[in-house]
Amino acid sequence: MNLISMLVLALLAAPQTKTPEKPKVADALNFTMNSLEGKPVNLSKYQGNVVLMVNVASECGYTPQYEGLQALHKKYAARGLRVLGFPSNDFGGQEPGSNAEIQDFCKKNFGVEFDMFSKIKVLGSDKSPLYKTLTATPKFTGDVSWNFEKFLIGRDGQVIGRYKSAVEPLSTELTRAIEAALGK
């Protein structure tokens, strides 16, 4: 057997390595949304983290919850929590500002450092596809009922909790669920 034949046989006998497949992006994170600055953000970048998605508004009785959301961000970001704010003007016109005004309001009044996105619709026929998906999740179906409703998404990208507006970000109910999702 000549050298070339031996090399060919050796190559054929060598174990074949497969290119690892990319994990499937979970439905709740399979969207590209615009940041408040207007830059596209692929939500798949949050896969593997615990994500708290909240529809927010600047002129709502629940607006002080920005403070609690920021506190959650500061306390748990290093462990993998990502808080995402989605401004919406769907409830009583309580988010009338432009994206720049929303950003300025959040920074100036609450020191918001977590990721905020461009204003979207969370209700009606022109509801954002993201919120169509969130509100169609088994066990968590139904329209968002007001500002500051929260969806908790586990590291696997699945919706694992839904919390009405009255549930404060730092409530025992929500912090226990976040800590359980983050793990030890």
DSSP 135-180: TTSTTS-S---STT-EEEE-TTS-EEEEE-TTS-TTSHHHHHHHHH
| Number of domains the chain is built from | 1
The residues annotated as belonging to the active site are 60
Q: Which domain holds residue 61?
A: 22-182
pLDDT at position 15: 63
Quick one: pLDDT band at residue 165, thresholds 50, 70, 90?
very high
| Domain annotation covers residue 32 | yes
**What average pLDDT does the segment 62-72 reach?**
98
| Domain annotation covers residue 140 | yes
Kind of pairing between the strands at 40-42 and 81-87: unpaired
| Domain annotation covers residue 8 | no
What average pLDDT does the structure give for the chain? 92
Instruction: Please give the Cα distance from 136 to 143 (Å, whole number).
Output: 9
Instruction: Please give the Cα distance from 83 to 73 (Å, whole number).
Output: 6
- pLDDT tens-digit profile of 107-156? 999 999 999 999 999 999 999 999 999 999 999 999 999 999 999 999 99
Is residue 5 over pLDDT 80? no
Is residue 4 over pLDDT 80? no
pTM across the whole model: 0.87
Quick one: pLDDT band at residue 1, thresholds 50, 70, 90?
low
CATH of the domain at 36: 3.40.30.10
Instruction: Please give the Cα distance from 67 to 87 (Å, whole number).
Output: 15
